[in-house]
Amino acid sequence: MTPTQGFGARFALPVLTGPAMNPLNTTMIAVALVPIAEATGVTVAQVMWLVAGLYLVSSVGQPACGRLADIYGPRRVYLAGLTATAIGGIVPALWPTFTGVLVARLLIGLGTSAAYPSSMAQISAQSARLRREPPPILLSGLSMAALTSISIGPVLGGLLVHWFGWQSIFLVNVPVAIAVAVMTLRWLPRDDARVAPGTSVARAIDLPGMVLFTLTLTPTLVFLLDIDQHQWWLLAAPALAGPALIWHERRTERPFIDVRMLARNRALSRTYLRFFLSYVGIYLVTYSMTPWFQSARGLDADVTGLMMIPAAVVAFAANLIVARQPRPRRTLIIAAGVPLVGGVLVTAIHTGTPLAWVLAAIALFGIPQGLVSVTNQAVLYRQAPAGQIGTAAGLSRTALQMGAIAASVVIAGAVGDTPTDASLHTVGIVIAAVSAVVLVLVVADPGLRSDVHRVRDARRTRRESRSAQGAPAGSH
């Protein structure tokens, strides 16, 4: 049996394509924010709700869909998510108002939330079915698919907005979702029976925990996105719901966020924290540079999208380098150190800065884009408890979404109604500060230090194996 048998192209294509849709939608919107704001009569700060709204839904949807995939089967959950995504893609064409666009983003966020945890659960189920580990390139492929979509999102979004209007960045989801659904139905194995008949969905996904999580996060997000309105009363709900969430999750049989597991598995908790902080920096770049190019430097949407190509190229190259044999600690040190330098460079950029220097600074941020996801994902796959890979993968995406939400809050506060050089410099300072914190966390993480010894042992074993194979008969 070859290493890829059972994990061939027909299995890999639907498993890898769907997870690319969530990050693609998160970055395509970056170049459409200004056109949508102008078309619907809202400010740049208000239009950031299109960013935060999708991430808010995804932060709840990813672990919920991961739990559903673990319980009911990943194929079913995957198909349901693709259906919601296709519906969301049609909404803005029929309802071209800010409310309609927001509803579409929420539907797309919910639908695409199913893809990544379902794919991870599908890989785990296939591995158990075949009784062998999946090929490393398949797990790396998940990160590469997400990375590629994050990188090309602004470029594709810019071209679509320029040639077909801003609604096209929603409509493009329809044919993609249909194509992935057809591949899933034809090529992915049917789900095994996983849950006793009559088990309610509400109990399976911990509906009270989801509600408490939403009540904790949503009012906090509303307060922070409109912080100049001083709506302090909004913080009453999270002040009550937050402690109630922890109390409930510690006692329920199937928690939405398994705080007991996180308390026991400190290494996994640190991985989630790295996901969160790293993506704060990554999304700060994407969502600050694109409006700045359009408003401060007067570039069109299609040209603005092209400005992100250097980061995409560097990200893809960095991902290829570490995809087959990631070295977690060394890779994550680089992924934290480079954006620290990049954040400092952003503080020196202004409207008169030569474009070549701006593009060089942007290209630096392609390095963490290419390294963070694939490396942390490899670490997570090893750290996650058996039988909970879908849930653990969903929580990792929640950490990512929370990072994007934090980035949107920073940008809304720094930018206000119009992006300026000063607002860009504020974002650069935040990027540098966050990257410094990540660097300290990586260097101090004992779990990552143990990975250094694990890599050395693996190398030594391979060398000894090759030596033994090359030794003459009878030499032992």
Domain-embedded: residue 458: yes
Per-residue confidence (pLDDT) for residue 194, from 0 to 100:
59
Per the CB < 8 A criterion, the answer to whether 304 and 357 are in contact is no
Per-residue confidence (pLDDT) for residue 239, from 0 to 100:
92
Domain-embedded: residue 234: no
Per the CB < 8 A criterion, the answer to whether 410 and 287 are in contact is no
Per-residue confidence (pLDDT) for residue 451, from 0 to 100:
55
Q: What is the DSSP letter of 353?
A: S
How many other CB atoms sit within 10 Å of the CB of residue 83? Answer: 15
Number of domains in the chain: 1
Domain-embedded: residue 219: no
Per-residue confidence (pLDDT) for residue 78, from 0 to 100:
95
What CATH number does the domain containing 283 carry? 1.20.1250.20
Predicted confidence (pLDDT) per residue in 380-399, tens digit: 877 777 667 766 776 787 78
Per the CB < 8 A criterion, the answer to whether 223 and 84 are in contact is no
Q: Which residues of 253-283 are buried (b: 16+ CB within 10 A; e: fewer)?
A: eebbbbbebeeebeebbbbbebbbbbbbbbb
Domain-embedded: residue 247: no
Structure tokens at 87: 């519906």
How many other CB atoms sit within 10 Å of the CB of residue 334? Answer: 19
Q: Kindly list the distances between the CA atom of residue 23 and the CA atoms of 20, 83, 127, in Å, as whole numbers in the listed order.
A: 6, 18, 26
- Of the candidates 19, 319, 282, 309, which has an alpha carbon nearest to the alpha carbon of residue 145? 19
User: Rounded to whole angstroms, how far apart are CA atoms 146 and 97?
Assistant: 29
Print the domain residue range for 148: 10-191+203-213+255-462
Per-residue confidence (pLDDT) for residue 340, from 0 to 100:
94
Per the CB < 8 A criterion, the answer to whether 343 and 369 are in contact is no
Question: What's CA 453's distance to the chain center, in Å?
Answer: 29
Domain-embedded: residue 468: no
Domain-embedded: residue 245: no
Domain-embedded: residue 240: no
Domain-embedded: residue 471: no
What residues in the chain have per-residue pLDDT under 70? 1-5, 193-204, 225, 227-228, 323-326, 386-387, 390-391, 394, 416-417, 449-476
